[in-house]
Structure 1
Amino acid sequence: MPFSKFNLCPLILKALEQNDYSTPTPIQEKVIPLVLQKHDIMAKAQTGSGKTASFVLPILNIYSQNKALGKAKIKALILTPTRELTLQVANSFDIFSEFLEKKPKVVSVIGGQSIGDQLLDIQKGCDIVVATPGRLLDIIKKGQINLSNLEFFVLDEADKMLDLGFEDELELVLNSLPDIRQNLLFSATYPPKMLEIASKITQNPTEVSIAFEEPTVQTIKQRAIEVNLENRSALLRDIISNEKLEQVLVFMANKRASDNIASKFRKYGLKAESFHGDLIQEDRNITLENFKTKKTNILFATDIAARGLHIDDISCVVNYDLPRSADDYIHRIGRTGRAGKSGLAISFITLENKEHFKLIQKRSNIKLDFEQVEGFELIGNPIEKQKGKEPIKGKRKSKKDKLREQNENKSN
């Protein structure tokens, strides 16, 4: 089905054509008509499914029909968990509105950049604000933003927002919004806490669920390579060299490790950089741009890069350190094999994490054969999980005893 079936503004269709968007993805096919029909949406879809365009396009279409004169008022607020995703969503609004007679004024509100400049842009008048919760809350507390004319509230990558600890900020932002608005929620997963927050945002949403897109996963060749912890760095260099991998995204457990290994790779003459939340925003932007334009071909990153980064030409994703969960594994490997291209995902399996990876496989419904690379064979025995000491009977209070004590204290 072509995008023209949605009866979008011809000038938006022109921008779609200009940017090689020909056929809607499943999430776009379901969500765009519902948004145009003014439904609240609670959508479940994986990263990389095209959900950004599923809300950007209908919001722009409705904006294009509004001929209001005078100073621009904020009609749409999009909340995202990371600065990079904020900038990319704002860029999508710019791309798809390129040919509109009156382009919407879009302001990105993120930390790491001048709050004064952002306040000035808002006060000059804007139509759309794309923001991270912390910085938006700073501006709300200053009383420098008017959200009373808001028509759309979009919560993007909602579960990731909870993972990053933005629950309290989200509650405060919600308290600042007008009661009557159209709500669009997008999340890869809906754990109980997310459902609780969703119920505070919208009471009667239309639920849209897009299963993990198996054809996308099937274009990704997944490998599990056994290696001792201390040999991972040398093995990675060997794989990149022998298999002539071009753009490699390597997931690390923490920021310090990302910096250290990137520095080590540069000493070997490789074009490597690190990417994590401690970088100032300017450096984050430059690092990503270098990777996108292939000035850098190896990017060592924390999970900040697992969601929301739209880089189509990543040839290989490496789990140098394993993710915590099966969901995180899927999000990580989904950075490669995008836009119908094939991709490669490699996970390093050590004595320490072998059992954890077996659990990830089970929950991801995948089964990989463990392999070894000559010269880097895994040496040693699997580490058995230590069992804790059994509790001594009678030493710990039972639930009944605790409840009895609580009741006694209340009566006293």
Structure 2
Amino acid sequence: MTFQDLELIEPLQKAIKLKGYTHPTPIQEQAIPILLNKHDLLGCAQTGTGKTAAFALPILQQVFLNKQQHNKYRKIKALVLTPTRELAIQISENFTEYGKFTGLKNSVIFGGVKQGAQTQELKRGVDILIATPGRLLDLMGQGFISLKDIEYFVLDEADHMLDMGFIHDIKKIVKKLPVDRQSLFFSATMPPEIIDLSKEIVGNPKRITIKPEQATAEKVEQAVFFVEKANKTKLLLHLLESNEPQSTLVFSRTKHGADKIVKFLAKSSIKAEAIHGNKSQGARQRALGNFKNSDTFVLVATDIAARGIDVDDLALVVNYDLPNIPETYVHRIGRTGRAKASGIALSFCATDERPFLRDIQKLINQTIEVVDHPFKEDGATNPTEKPVHTAHKPSKNARKKTARRKNDSFKRFPKNN
């Protein structure tokens, strides 16, 4: 199937062609016809699957056609609710690119910055609004935003909304929406609390489940380095210095840890920047902009702040700290496996992180290759493999061949082949 088969209007086809898109991803292929037929949708899908285009294109088409018919003053007809400002900005940029030939106007609002520029844009009229919950409720309370004309509502990244404590804000917002609307609900996972929330938002939806765990893991080349915590910074520096500069996204479990990594690299003349919840919006956007423009080759991020990072041709993802939730690992490595692209993901695993690695390998149904390195933890083996016992000591030549093979394997992963 191609985008030409999806019955999208000419202004959207023109924008898609300009973007270089020819074939839809699985979620786009399934979701777009459902949404153009005005059904509600419950989707289990994560970022990196092409989800934004899957809902943005149908919304743009329907708002455009309705506006052509009625030609009224701009009122907010579509609302996209998302957990973080980075993701909100990314979604807004996508709406702008896909809708550039429609004449429709979208706006993005989020907290952490002064509201003046956002309220001025709202006063000028907006067709599609992308928002984080807190700032949306704030501006609704001040009378800058009314949701009474909403015809299309998207709740994106629902599981992360709940993780960030937005459940009550979401329910307040949903109560203000018209009953007669098209609702779209997306979540990477579907635990019971998410299913309960979805029932409050969508009535009798069509369902789509995209399973990126296997697909993403298969197209991203992965390796694990067993290393004690004290040697992680040395190993990271070794990886970065062993290769030509390339875009590298490093995941830290904590904000303090992210800042610490940046300071360590700076001492070795490697420019890196961090993004996390303690950084101002301006600082986060500058850091992300520098990374996208290749002014900075290393970006260190926490999981929440990394939502919305969408960098073309990202060379490498490094899990400096392994996540304790297996699905988070898939989200992370998906940064370098966007849509149908491939990538490389390297993980550092300390002794106390072994259970996390076991859970990850169970989820993705793969045994991640262990790579030798100068800072290797003594006696490290893959926790999913049984130890191999040999009846005799290898010859000197055999040991040399093994050493060369391991060294070649180590060099192979950091390269962006």
Structure 1 residue 298 and structure 2 residue 294: aligned?
no
Question: Do the aligned residues in 1 keep the contact of 2:185 with 2:202 (CA within 8 Å)?
Answer: no
Q: 2:115 aligned with 1:115, yes or no?
A: yes
2:90 aligned residue: 88
1:378 aligns with 2:405: no
User: Structure 1 pair 381/61, CA: closer, same or farther in 2 (3 Å)?
Assistant: closer
More off after superposition, 330-339 vs 319-328: 330-339
The aligned counterpart of 2:79 is: 77
Alignment gaps of 5+ in structure 2: 382-417
1:313 to partner: Cα distance: 1.7
Task: Number of aligned residue pairs: give it.
Answer: 379
Q: How far apart in 1 are the matches of 2:334 and 2:258?
A: 20
Q: Letter of the 2:165 partner, please give it.
A: G
Query: Within 5 A, what are the aligned runs for 1:194-343?
Result: 194-212=194-212, 214-244=214-244, 246-343=246-343
Q: Deviations for 1:372-404, whole angstroms, at most 9, x for unmatched residues? A: 312x1214899xxxxxxxxxxxxxxxxxxxxxx
Alpha-carbon offset, residue 97 of structure 1: 1.4
Q: Give, in whole Å, the separation in 2 of the partners of 1:300 and 1:356.
A: 21
Partner of 1:334, secondary structure, is helix
- Cα distance, 1:358 vs. partner? 1.6
Q: Report the secondary structure of 1:232's partner residue.
A: helix
In 2: Cα distance, 1:113 partner to 1:219 partner = 38
The TM-score with structure 1 as length reference comes to 0.88
CA distance in 2, matches of 1:175, 1:143: 16
1:161 paired residue number: 161
Q: Equivalent residue for 1:179? A: 179
Task: Give the number of the structure whose residues are more often helix, by fraction.
Answer: 2
Assess if the C-alpha contact under 8 Å between 2:106 and 2:130 holds in 1: yes
| TM-superposition CA deviations, 1:88-109 (whole Å, max 9, x none) | 1111111111122xx1121111
Q: 1:339 to 1:381 in 2, by over 3 A?
A: closer
Deviations 1:128-181 (A, max 9, x none): 110001111111222321111110000111111111111111111111111111
Query: Which residue does 2:189 correspond to in 1?
Result: 189
TM-score of the aligned structures, taking structure 2 as reference length: 0.87
Q: Partners of 1:126 and 1:187 in 2: how far apart? A: 26
Matched with 2:126 is: 126
- Between the aligned partners of 1:99 and 1:242, the Cα distance in structure 2 is 46
In the alignment, the residues of structure 2 paired with residue 29 and residue 286 of structure 1 have an alpha-carbon distance, to the nearest angstrom, of: 35
Alpha-carbon displacement from aligned partner over 1:308-343 (angstroms, at most 9, x marks no partner): 321122111111111121100100111113354431
Please give the alpha-carbon distance, in whole angstroms, between the structure 2 residues aligned to 1:362 and 1:217.
12
Structure 2 counterpart SS, 1:32? helix
How far 1:307 sits from its partner (Å)? 3.3
| Contact 1:351-1:380 within 8 A present in 2 as well | no
Query: Matched residue of 2:270: which SS?
Result: coil
In structure 1, list runs of 5 or more residues that go unmatched: 383-412
- Please state how far the C-alpha of 1:304 moved relative to its aligned partner: 2.3
Shift of the 14–142 alpha-carbon distance from structure 1 to 2, 3 Å rule, reads same
Name the residue aligned to 2:411. none
